[in-house]
A and B are shown apart, each in its own frame.
Chain A
């Protein structure tokens, strides 16, 4: 089982966003792997092992499109346990979801994975498009917003649960396919490869951290740097970002001292009760 995990680096989402002159100021931010993509790496690792950190079968390849120092985030993913990394030179300002998906399509065609697993969205652009676009361009089936993923013992299909507006939907999908994961995919029993792990298998209720041994091993793992041109990908943007602004700010609120005061304000001032 070969699994390709596309990952994006994003500015630390916990830091206060600075917007000036119609642009997001990113100088001085710290970068990290998009959380949903980190969950995708955890998913892929679980699909290739019998138990956490135990005997493995299969290969997990992480790929990112970004500037040179995205290598830092890719090394972290190698330290988590991914086997190989590919960095396609690129810059957010000259990328959109379409170009990312077409670049990934070229990577898929050269790597020929059995499965692509990625986050459902990046927490900076919040597009929630690339996985679906990639599946569309490849004419592969897609399984989006997954909270569980069970790979059949023959490696030819997967059964998934998706959190949808009206509840939880169960689907079966033929491989190769594109899967996008939501946050509950890192639950204890959310992911399993039936060929490797029994139904009783449990993982930790979170994505794994890199161990010291993992960090040492990551230094020796392959991190290949390539260009979009070498993949034969080029073209303009289908979606241009014109400007960023601060969202309309809310009028400063007040603190009330008691329940009586709260109810009275909601009734006579806000008129919502």
Chain B
């Protein structure tokens, strides 16, 4: 009977939805470890966020300090380790966000614990399934240490619903904070009215074949018509057609929407690694040999120029019918 600790990322007032899959993974793990699920909220002025986060877990430990505003592994990992030790926990979980991937291994190092990255299934107290070889293998691993650390792949754990009753919030003093000379300077955030790529029900991705930025306008039309998010291949990002944070794949985001459109996109294995779990995949590519057709449920061998306007019109017709 020991606790499972889960890192809960927040804005200043709310739990980030990206952490809800981690709560689900923590609950799955808590079934094997037998104890409560304890959330950890770290930041500056995060009292309201901690209260919001407490709706999802048995208890929240909150480290609130101006020096903790940025998610630096140097300052956050020791607090996660402290939270695990102080609560006698035997498991530490986070979503495999850029923050989780940065910080959790460092916390594992401090705990002397084995870690499984990007877990897609909890098989037991210390057994986990995870993708390897760019998603071309699934690998079962067993952790041999008393405490286990894992990041959960967001697309494979459904977002947790609030618990029947909200947990308590305990404010904890962080003790000495030493960033070891690391310093957050700025976040150049991308803002979009569209849903987050990792959470969208529909993703429309364009590849190298889209040729130019202005051609993405058609993809944006399709995206907005479907209420989805825009994505891209590495080639399209590297060519400067769209910003890098739209990239789907081994570098970039892992998505698993209900419907994935791959337009003028060949489907290199690094790209497939980021979208293969989508429920329905549609590929439009003029090259019948393009690897994307091997994973597509519906493939259309054609150019985007000759099909996109009609595709948009047909869907519009269907939606207004």
Chain A residues at the B interface, C-beta cutoff of 8 Å: 13-14, 17, 19, 24, 96-98, 101, 123-133, 135-137, 139-145, 147, 157, 159, 162-174, 177, 182-184, 236-248, 250-251, 253-260, 262-263, 265-267, 270, 272-273
Cα-based distance from A137 to B112 in the complex (angstroms): 10
Residues of A within 8 A of B137 (CB): 17, 19, 24, 244-247
Known interface pairs A123-B133, A184-B244. Does A97 touch B105 (Cβ–Cβ under 8 Å)?
A: yes
CA of A190 to CA of B103 in the docked complex: distance in angstroms? 24
| Contact residue among B113, B132, B280 (Cβ-Cβ distance under 8 Å from A125) | B132
- Main secondary structure on chain A at its contact with chain B? mixed
**A272 to B259, Cβ gap below 8 A?**
yes
Decide: A159 and B181 in contact? CB cutoff 8 A. no
Instruction: State whether A270 touches B117 (Cβ < 8 A).
Output: no
Identify the closest chain B residue to A258 (Cβ).
B300
**Which of A130, A238, A266, A273 lies in contact with B114, CB distance below 8 A?**
A238
CB closest residue in chain A, given B129:
A245
Q: B170 contacts the other chain (Cβ, under 8 Å)?
A: no
Interchain CB contact under 8 A, B181 and A243 = no
B134 near A169: Cβ-Cβ < 8 Å: no
Chain B: interface residue total (CB-CB under 8 A):
86
8 Å CB contact of B99 from A137, A164, A258: A164
From A17, A132, A244, A255, give the contact of B109 (CB < 8 A).
Answer: A132
Known: A238-B113, A262-B300. A136 touches B77 (CB 8 A): yes
Most buried by A among B141, B179, B189, B281: B141
B190 at the interface (CB under 8 A from A): yes
Q: Does B213 sit within 8 A of A, measured CB to CB?
A: no
Q: Beta-carbon contacts of B114-156 to A below 8 Å, as 1s and 0s?
A: 1111100000000100111111111111111100000000000
Also in contact, A237 and B144, with CB within 8 A (given A128-B117, A145-B98): yes
Q: Are B77 and A147 in contact (CB under 8 A)?
A: no
A258: chain B residues within 8 A (beta carbon): 300
Q: Is the CB of A251 within 8 A of B297?
A: yes
B214 to chain A, nearest CB (A): 22
A171–chain B nearest beta-carbon distance, Å: 6
Most A CB atoms within 10 A — which of B135, B182, B269, B301? B182
B27 at the interface (CB under 8 A from A): no
Contact of A171 among B108, B185, B282 (CB under 8 A): B185
10 A–B contacts from the bound complex (CB under 8 Å): A125-B132, A133-B106, A136-B106, A164-B99, A238-B145, A239-B115, A243-B139, A247-B136, A247-B138, A255-B299
The B75-113 residues at the A interface (CB cut-off 8 A) are 77, 97-99, 101-110, 112-113
Cross-chain contact of A142 among B74, B183, B276 (Cβ < 8 A): B74
The 8 closest A-B pairs by CB, nearest first: A174-B181, A136-B109, A238-B114, A132-B105, A164-B98, A170-B185, A167-B189, A136-B106
Q: Which residues of A contact B97 (CB under 8 A)?
A: 165
